[in-house]
A and B are shown apart, each in its own frame.
Chain A
């Protein structure tokens, strides 16, 4: 029984780390602009798909292909901000969210045209020999996902709390006009926020692709799960988003293991609803006061 639960927990943390990375991307853009970027899942998919295309199709070594694809996805993120979000500056938050949904459909269509409907796999970074912890097992790639997620999360934490640019982005989210008045280049900060989200998304995609495979529509479900995780943790709080991701992964895995695998998604969503009912701003979100 103990071994079983250990396995459920390990599985939950691996899956949760993926959700956490996607959720973190949501939280960063939300932090900077109050916009929920629904093309976050597509960043994840693009990161994985373009890495595979570059390494398998063009014969680049995996690390180089990954680096190129991260750079490409960052460009996509910047272009999304510059050409789709920025021109709608005066629009309401809801309108901007709808623009991001449109962008996600566009990116999915583009991936479909470029790479077709096939499912693609990626080689594991350091082999597929499972590591044993008691009776439970773990793939080296799972450690890559967890390790990668930890490094990125700490990096984001440092960026927002200890660098001028990070603090400037937070300032923009608090009060755009005031930030502008004290000399912060608001447009530039928005670009940085989108670029950073795209960077996180694409890295998440590359880290998990060897385990999960990928296809042109893989971003839809990941985006949805990452969004749920961000809501669960508290939308404006990057560390809350990470906690929400890990929690959602654990809930799903334990629900599947101990209750019923058929109802695990339902159980996850019921818990999400309960949290929203009792704590509308999420588990770790600050209760929001209406800004006047």
Chain B
């Protein structure tokens, strides 16, 4: 072996050990994410990615966490569960990320949970389904409200108004169906009987038939769990038929678009929604006010109207970073334990208090009950 060869081998060895040293010592905190930035769920995934990128830049500009820079590694799943599993495998094995914050849709989140559990990496999901945290899985957490919470909030409000008989009408989409299931399950706990259970197709253009049947029941209120054009058409049809019952919608329509589409018919409609929607109307004493105002201003300055979905990414990202900060390391087990100990974290979705048995940590106060008055949201207490 001549000198040149030895030098070469030494150099390569040094480089290799340097590379290994880097990933061991962890000069950067690697946050992995997989979102549906394209495809049918892109209106969820797009603001999520924009939010993550915005706040990674902000954290790094402020000097990182414990002096370590944050690096974001992203893959676009297009909402496809199979792709999601492949990308998460890549995040864990090739990119060697420290924590995963992502999973725009419930389908992609649930699909990667077994992989996350067997690899032992903390995962904070940004999807809605209650099945992500019930039953609790050691390595999986989530930040968005669940359908069950929305249903419970609605039924709680009905109970206060003395309503006991409710007609349910829901769409045929995944969100609608899951909401319907949760509503049927939860209604008895609030002393509510469902006197009708009607449904409509995702592209249906007229629901007067279903509502005529509801009109002839003895229902005291109508609950519509739906998403897209359906709820706006239901709202218009209810008024067209002259049905004078209180109408409740789900958080699926919590956007200005719904008021715009349903027009005057939307007056008096009640729905549960995240506080982000009514940031400006919150009293200054509200603990979330400062966080919400800051997030809204920052997002809207860069990308236009804010949505609650981007807010979920904010919550997941900061819960993960604060856990790493408290753990003083990126050791996965320690970080996981710290995420589970999250207490009083004020996010855009609410105030998070996680425990061993509750990997979401939001209370009922995370949802505000809103009523549409004069074409705008009003908080009802």
Contact = CB atoms under 8 A, between A and B. Distances in A.
B212 A8 contact: yes
A130 B198 CA distance: 23
Given A15-B205, A218-B203, A4 B242 contact: no
B284 interface: no
B280 interface: no
A235 B367 CA distance: 53
Contacts, number: 82
A145 B232 CA distance: 20
B287 interface: no
Given A213-B229, A257-B213, A261-B199, A137 B241 contact: yes
A50 to B, nearest CB: 19
Given A137-B241, A218-B203, A4 B42 contact: no
Contact of B205 (A212, A257, A261): A212
Contact of B200 (A10, A117, A261): A261
B240 A137 contact: yes
Contacts of B329: none
Interface of A: 4, 7-8, 10-12, 14-15, 18, 117-119, 121, 128, 130, 136-137, 139, 208, 211-213, 215, 218, 220-222, 253, 256-257, 261-262, 264-265
A3 B242 CA distance: 14
Chief secondary structure at chain A's binding surface = helix
Given A130-B240, A137-B242, A262-B199, A121 B260 contact: yes
Contact of B240 (A139, A208, A213, A264): A139
Q: Residue among B42, B200, B202, B264 with the most chain A CB within 10 A?
A: B200
A209 B182 CA distance: 33
Interface of B: 42-43, 198-203, 205-206, 208-210, 212-213, 216, 228-229, 232-233, 236, 240-242, 257, 260-261, 263-265
10 contacts: A8-B212, A14-B206, A117-B42, A119-B229, A121-B263, A137-B241, A211-B233, A212-B229, A213-B261, A253-B209
A221 B43 CA distance: 21
Contacts of A265: 201
A119 B261 contact: yes
B241 A221 contact: no
A119 B233 CA distance: 12
B209 A215 contact: no
B92 to A, nearest CB: 32
Contacts of B209: 7-8, 11-12, 253, 256-257, 261
A121 to B, nearest CB: 5
A221 B212 contact: no
B42 A257 contact: no
Contacts of B241: 7, 130, 137
A211 B233 CA distance: 8
A11 B200 CA distance: 14
B204 to A, nearest CB: 8
B242 A130 contact: yes
B216 A4 contact: yes
Contacts of A212: 205-206, 229, 233
A18 B204 CA distance: 12
A256 B210 contact: yes
